[in-house]
Structures are given as C-alpha cells and as structure tokens.
Structure 1
Amino acid sequence: MKILFTEMHQGKTQAREKLIQGNIRLVLSVIQRFTNRGEYVDDLFQVGCIGLIKSIDNFDLSQNVRFSTYAVPMIIGEIRRYLRDNNAVRVSRSLRDIAYKALQVREKLINDNSAEPTVSQIAQHLDVSREEVVFALDAIQEPVSLFEPIYNDGGDPILVMDQLSDERSGDEQWLEEISIKEAMKKLNDREKHIVSLRFFAGKTQMEVAEEIGISQAQVSRLEKAALKQLRKYV
C-alpha cells in the first residue's frame, strides 16, 4: 500500500488504479449498511466508489493511520450525503451546507473537549445564529414512513400510521389533559422542566440541553424516564 501511494504521488496513474481496485471490498462492506433504504445497490456502489477515490486522493502517508480507518468514514459520508440530497423532502443547498458543517464542528469540538458542545458553541464556530443551526439540523433529518413497523409480536406488525388518529371528542381531550396534569405531579422538578420544554414549548433536545446546562444525551435519558413514568398514570 505504501509503495502504491508513493508511486501515485509521483504521478503514476496505474498505481492509483491498483489502489482503487484493491480496496473495492471496503465499498462493498459499507453499502451493506444501507441496503434496507430502498435504494438501488448499483447506485450506492457508485457513490461509495466516489468516496473511496476521494479518500485515496486525500490520504496522507505521514499520518500514523491505517488506510481503511481513514477510508470507511469517507465512504459512509459520501453515501449519507447522496441519501440526504436525494431525499423525497427537498432541502435547500444552503441549509444542507450549514447542517453538514455543524456536524463536522460538533465532532471536532467533542474530540477537542471530550464533551457535547452546545448549539451556541457550534453557531459561534460557524458564525451563524443558533436558530439557523437548529433549523438546518432539523431539516436534514430523514422522514419516517407511515408504513414503518414500530412493533411486532410475531403477528401482523404495528405501523406508525396505526398510532395516528384525529377522531377525538372534546370530552376525551379534556379528560386526557386532566390525567396528564395529575401525572406531571409525579415527576421531579428537572423532569417536569424537560417535559415542559420539549412537549409544551416545542424545543429540541439540543435546545433543552443548552438551557439547563447538561448534555443532549442526558436530556434524552431523562426524557425517556419521565415519559415512562407518565405512562404509568395516564
């Protein structure tokens, strides 16, 4: 590998071709992760090959890193960009650019500080408003299909659409609001605060994390525990 990279940097095109052909297995192993997306495997393979070629052209021999360690994230990133860009829900190029840069900055700050950065810190590094960062990150989230199975006990699966309904009477709404208020009393102050911000103020987990001074992972864990507690009483 080192000899081929050295020859490629000297301008030998055959060495570059050998590197590409010799590492096709990396692309084949990566696209296995994305075969359940409904995309054509041939398309994913071609996009993965673009990621492989980029990683070969940009690989730095002076760094003490295995090529596969460097190439696999590059291939995955290229495929993810393709899937996002070809999403049924169209997102503007400027929003996607902000979102991708925000994700890169987030990873860098985590590596540098060993801690989850706040939205404001990411926004400061990008020199944009925190609202733009939140909106951009929300915009690139993949939509969930109404036919996505959420539970299966061996029989017919329960789909997302099975959990949706708009046929509710005023009495049912009123009784549910009362039961939720009573259930909220069973939570501690931090859990109440998180539930209120998430489901009554409509804030994202990252926004809640910044407001109360903890990580997004902690917000997610506390939110799940609070919802589990609420379900006992509602």
Structure 2
Amino acid sequence: MWWGAFLLKIFDKPLSSEEEKIYLKKCREGDLEARNKLIEKNMRLVAHIVKKYACADRDTEDLLSVGTIGLIKAVNTFDMNKSIRLATYAAKCIDNELLMLLRSDRRKSREISIYEPVGKDKEGNEINLIEIIGTSEDTVVEDYELRQDVKKLYSAVEKKLTDREREIIIMRYGLYGTQEITQREIAQKMNISRSYVSRIEKKSS
C-alpha cells in the first residue's frame, strides 16, 4: 500500500543501540522527555506492523492509534536487563494490541450476523441463527477464536522452532494428538535438564 511507504518516511529513524540505552536509563529515572523520545523514535515500527493489517476493515489512523498504545505499554514495561532490543519487545506489544482490536471487531461482527433472521416458523415468527444452532453467542465466538488460535499455534511450532524445540513443545502440550507430559518427564525421556525444558517452554511462549 502506498500509505505504508509514506508513513515509514514521515517517522523518525530508530535510535542506535547506545542511544536507546541512554534514553531507557533516563526514562526509568522518570525523565518524560526521554520516554517521549523512545516513543517517537519507534513510530516507524508501529507503521511497519500496521502494514500487515492493511486488509482489515479499519482506517489506518485507527490502527496507528492502537499500535501506538502497544508501543507506549512496551516503553513503560520494558526490562533493560533483558538481552534484547526494545523494538523486539515492542513489536509483540504492538501486535497484541492490534490483534485485540481486530478480535473485538470480529466479535461484534459475529454478534450482528448471529442474530440476523434466517427464516420464519409456522406461526410467522422470525427465526435467527442463534436459535437454529442452539448455542450461546459467546460459545460460538469462543469456539471460532479457539480454532484460529490453534491454527496460529501449529503454524508457529512448524516455522519458528528448531527440531529439538519442536519435539519438546509437542510433548509438553500434547500437540498433534499426543499425550501431554511434565517438564520432568521430558527431561528424563530426552536426557536433558529440567531447567533446559523450562527455558525452551518460556522461549516459545
């Protein structure tokens, strides 16, 4: 989309690693100017992530606003002791905020469609979809979201994990129809430490 390239041009370039550390330190000391600088210098990241949701039924301005909320949360909660850049952590926070927005939109959309009339009974009364499927609105939405989350989980397992990590996560959570087992059982089975299993589990979460 043309606006994606435009947004990336108007936002400031990101800080260097050293500059970022300086501003993060000042921010943690209560310097609001440093906090604002961290937000401004990472707005390109927000614009970049928003591009992924260009096909969503939302104005770009709305997506940018919500993405910025995620960025602000990231700046406020980032742990400087972690061995990652702020952008890595912020990307997840921004993505989460945007996904929550779109899930909320999807839920509202389904609320409308689930109550739309689909016919009439013998007495001439309108019948809606919720009456036909015989379940609650919340259950339908939750089932749909669960199926979507499961698809994303399996996709992440296949694409982002190494063979060893994948094997551990499959056993830990009982994926692909396998039996879920404990960290201790995995450690004994693979002849590795329980702490290593725990690290893999945390890394994959």
Q: TM-score, length-normalised on structure 2?
A: 0.49
Q: TM-score, length-normalised on structure 1?
A: 0.44
